[in-house]
Homo-oligomer: A and B are copies of this chain.
C-alpha cells in the first residue's frame, strides 16, 4: 500500500472529522490508511508535524477573493470571518490550529494580509501585529469553545443553573438563557464588531454609538 504525504494528510483530516481531536491517534490513522503503525513516520517525522500540516491545510484560501478596495474595517471583518470558517471546516479544527506553530504559506498569507490591511489604515507595524494577535486570539478562542460545545454529549454539560445561587450570582442568573452552547452566529459577530469598533475609534474613524 504505497502512500503519499497527501494521502496521509487527507486521511488524517477525514479521521479528525470522524473521531475528533481526542481520538485522533497515529495508530488509528495507520489502520484507517490500511498500513502498519510505523508507516506514517516515513512521511511525517512526528504527530506534531502532521498536526501542523493539517492546520496549514485548513487555512487554504483564507485570503482569496478579498476586496482590497473596500474600507479597511470591512477587509478585516471579512478575513476574520474567513479564518473562522476555515477553523470550522473540520471537527475540532480550532484546537488543532491553536496547538501548532507553522510558518507555512497559508498561515503566512493570513498574517501578511491582516498586517497589510492595518498598515494601510495607518497603523505602525508594531500596533498592526499586536492588533492582528488580538483578533486572532478572539477568533480562535471563540471557535474552540463553539466546537467544544458541539462535541459535548447532552449529559456531559455541567449544570450551570444548579450551581448558581440567587444571592451570590444574580447577574449570571439574569443572563443564563444567553449563556450558550450552542453559539448563535451573532455571538461571533458581536465580539468581532466590538474589537473592530475599538479599532475604528483608535484610528480616528467616526463611529456611531449603537447604545450597546
Which residue of the partner chain, among B127, B134, B142, contacts A212 with CB atoms under 8 Å?
A: B127
Per-residue CB proximity of A155-168 to B under 8 Å, as 1/0?
00011101110001
CB-CB < 8 A to A207: which residues of B? Answer: 201
Give Cα A9 to B211, complex, Å.
45
CB-CB < 8 A to A158: which residues of B? Answer: 101-103
Q: Which residue of B has the minimal Cβ distance to A144? A: B98
**Contact in complex: A191, B142 (CB < 8 Å):** no
SS of A interface (majority): helix
**Contact in complex: B190, A130 (CB < 8 Å):** yes
**Contact in complex: B137, A137 (CB < 8 Å):** yes
Interface size on A, residues (CB 8 A): 67
**Contact in complex: A178, B142 (CB < 8 Å):** no
A210 at the interface (CB under 8 A from B): yes
Give Cα A190 to B195, complex, Å.
12
A44 at the interface (CB under 8 A from B): no
- Each complex incorporates copies of this chain amounting to 2
By a beta-carbon cutoff of 8 Å, the part of chain A in contact with chain B is 98, 101-104, 108-109, 111-112, 115-116, 119, 121-131, 133-134, 136-138, 140-142, 144-145, 158-160, 162-164, 168-172, 174-175, 178-179, 187, 190-191, 194-204, 207, 209-212
**Contact in complex: A128, B194 (CB < 8 Å):** no
The contact sample of 26 A-B pairs, CB cut-off 8 A, is A103-B158, A103-B159, A104-B163, A108-B168, A108-B172, A112-B168, A112-B169, A112-B171, A116-B170, A128-B171, A130-B191, A133-B142, A133-B191, A137-B142, A138-B138, A195-B198, A197-B202, A198-B201, A201-B201, A202-B209, A202-B212, A203-B211, A203-B212, A204-B209, A204-B211, A204-B212
